[in-house]
């Protein structure tokens, strides 16, 4: 692989350099290769001016996705969720939840009472051959998992429970229980599913078994589930964000701004005031809107992915790609003989440097006061790099620290939503492995949002407790509550 060589600033060779990360200065021993590495990596450092330019472009993309005239060609799809209310604390009873959004699939039983949610669940693996086989085989596998879970919990012959189905892929929903897959992401590529109604596929798979009966009352994205799970605890939650294997965000949008479904009315013939919009912001930049801050390393990762040219924003910030971007940078530096004595063979193997290595090295940078870099040495040796120096470890740690670009890009996206909503106080529900496990990500995210959000707007970040599972049950619970409330109101009116 041949990458673009960098024009170097000779002034940096004369100046002392410290790797400084906001709130965490790291003093480094000076050396010429290190100076060159800092210069090469400058393009990963984004200024607030660049982030604000990105915010303007993102909101324009969102508006295209909401507009009836431009929605069909918009990069950011802005999909209506048909969820128009959050939990109010009166939801009660038992609910099932299905959660498909990655290599693991979950079945859950959730019982709600007052402000508590008692949850029992089981994780089932989705084998790679099923992820990339036929749609029928995928949904048969899901139905088989459900049947095993229901058998274990004596639910097969019990009263049919309302079910919320979290399907964490881009879906065009036509109602709360109908949604067609637009395109697979996150490594899935099962045939015959794109363009099909996934609720129908699930029901058909259950019918083929003839031993389980389900009542799907809500289809949702895991990001909507994240919002709902936090709203169950804090009613001011109006934004849900996931930064894990992939990334996405949803938020409560004024209905009069969603012109592409301006003729929508609910079952009672009423027009909602607001609706949760599933942005599918991972595709932001697919139309070139992010080209001004993309690097050649981003281009390499994109070209080598299973969906080149798609999910551009996701490939710059999510866990599926963060480690790979770091690896490509390290390979480039090794090829330029700035790392590992020029030995680039081991680090050139795609996906040999997963995102967990970035987090582990970052964590060591925080905790290892003596700068022994034992963990970093071990990681590089495990990869197969034969000769690793202390300077190599320091430089690798520096490159890993530049992963804060992902936090800043995410912060810019959240600031767009907060500014657009303009509400005086909003809770932002967050979930995903990057947010949960990267040691500095939450702090960096919060600090950058504060710098980018409009004056006078207040917010708080809240870790979601199992939004994709609990949130699915809560959407089902809210749907069931609203249906019951309307039935009671009808009966009262008839008397």
Burial 62-101 (b: 16+ CB within 10 A, else e): bbbbbbeeebeebbbbbbbbbbbbbbeeebeebbbbbbbb
Catalytic machinery residues? 186, 222
DSSP calls for 38-92: HHHGGGG---HHHHHHHHHHHHHHHHHHHSTTTGGG-SS--EE--------S---
Please list, in sequence order, all residues whose beta carbon lies within 8 angstroms of the beta carbon of residue 7, skipping any fewer than 6 positions away.
none
Contact yes or no for 249/239 (Cβ under 8 A): yes
Closest CA to 465 of 121, 216, 91: 121
Q: Determine contact, residues 316/246, Cβ cutoff 8 Å.
A: no
The pair of structure tokens assigned to 220 is: 């949702």
Rounded CA-CA distance 94/477 in Å is: 9
Other beta carbons within 10 angstroms of residue 152's beta carbon come to 13
Residue whose tokens read 């409560």:
252
CA distance 46 to 109: 44
Instruction: Return the half-sphere exposure (C-beta side, CA atoms, 13 A cut-off) of residue 494.
Output: 6
Task: Take residue 97 and report the two structure tokens written for it.
Answer: 């939840």
């Amino acid at each position: 692989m041949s990458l673009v060589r960098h024009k170097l600033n000779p002034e940096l060779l004369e100046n002392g350099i410290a790797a400084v990360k906001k709130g965490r200065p790291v003093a480094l021993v000076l050396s010429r290769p290190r100076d060159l590495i800092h210069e090469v990596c400058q393009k990963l450092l984004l200024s607030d001016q660049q982030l604000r330019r990105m915010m303007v472009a993102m909101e324009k993309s969102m508006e295209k996705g909401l507009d009836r005239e431009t929605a069909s060609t918009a990069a950011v799809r802005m999909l209506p969720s048909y969820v128009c209310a959050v939990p109010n604390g009166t939801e009660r009873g038992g609910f099932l939840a299905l959660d498909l959004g990655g290599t693991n699939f979950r079945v859950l039983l959730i019982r709600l009472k007052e402000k508590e949610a008692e949850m029992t669940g089981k994780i089932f693996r989705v084998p790679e051959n099923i992820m990339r086989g036929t749609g029928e085989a995928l949904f048969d596998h899901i139905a088989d998992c459900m049947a095993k879970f229901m058998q274990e919990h004596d639910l097969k012959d019990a009263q049919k429970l309302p079910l919320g189905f979290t399907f964490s892929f881009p879906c065009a929903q036509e109602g709360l229980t109908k949604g067609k897959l637009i395109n697979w992401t996150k490594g899935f590529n099962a045939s015959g599913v794109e363009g099909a109604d996934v609720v129908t596929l699930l029901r058909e798979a259950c019918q083929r078994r003839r031993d389980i009966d389900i009542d799907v009352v809500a289809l949702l994205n895991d990001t909507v589930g994240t919002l709902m799970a936090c709203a169950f605890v804090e009613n001011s939650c109006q934004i849900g964000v996931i930064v894990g294997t992939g990334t996405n965000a949803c938020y409560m949008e004024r209905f009069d701004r969603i012109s592409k479904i301006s003729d929508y009315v609910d079952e009672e013939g009423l027009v909602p005031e607001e609706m949760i919009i599933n942005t599918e912001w991972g595709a932001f930049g697919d139309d070139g809107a992010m080209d001004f801050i993309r690097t050649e390393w981003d281009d390499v990762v994109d070209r080598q992915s299973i969906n080149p040219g798609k999910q551009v924003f996701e490939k710059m910030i999510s866990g599926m790609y963060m480690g790979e971007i770091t690896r490509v940078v390290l390979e480039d530096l090794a090829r330029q003989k700035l790392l590992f004595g020029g030995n680039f063979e081991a680090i050139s193997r795609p996906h040999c440097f997963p995102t967990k290595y970035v987090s582990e090295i970052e964590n060591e940078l925080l905790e290892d006061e003596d700068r022994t870099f034992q963990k970093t040495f071990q990681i590089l040796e495990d990869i197969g790099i034969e000769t690793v120096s202390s300077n190599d470890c320091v430089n690798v740690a520096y490159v890993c620290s530049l992963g804060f670009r992902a936090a800043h890009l995410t912060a810019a996206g959240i600031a767009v939503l907060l500014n657009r909503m303009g509400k005086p106080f909003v809770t932002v529900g967050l979930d995903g492995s990057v947010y949960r496990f990267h040691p500095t990500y939450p702090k960096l995210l919060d600090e950058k949002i504060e710098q980018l959000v409009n004056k006078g707007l207040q917010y708080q970040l809240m870790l979601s407790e199992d939004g994709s599972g609990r949130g699915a049950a809560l959407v089902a619970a809210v749907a069931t509550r609203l249906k019951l409330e309307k039935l009671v109101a009808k009966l009262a009116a008839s008397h």
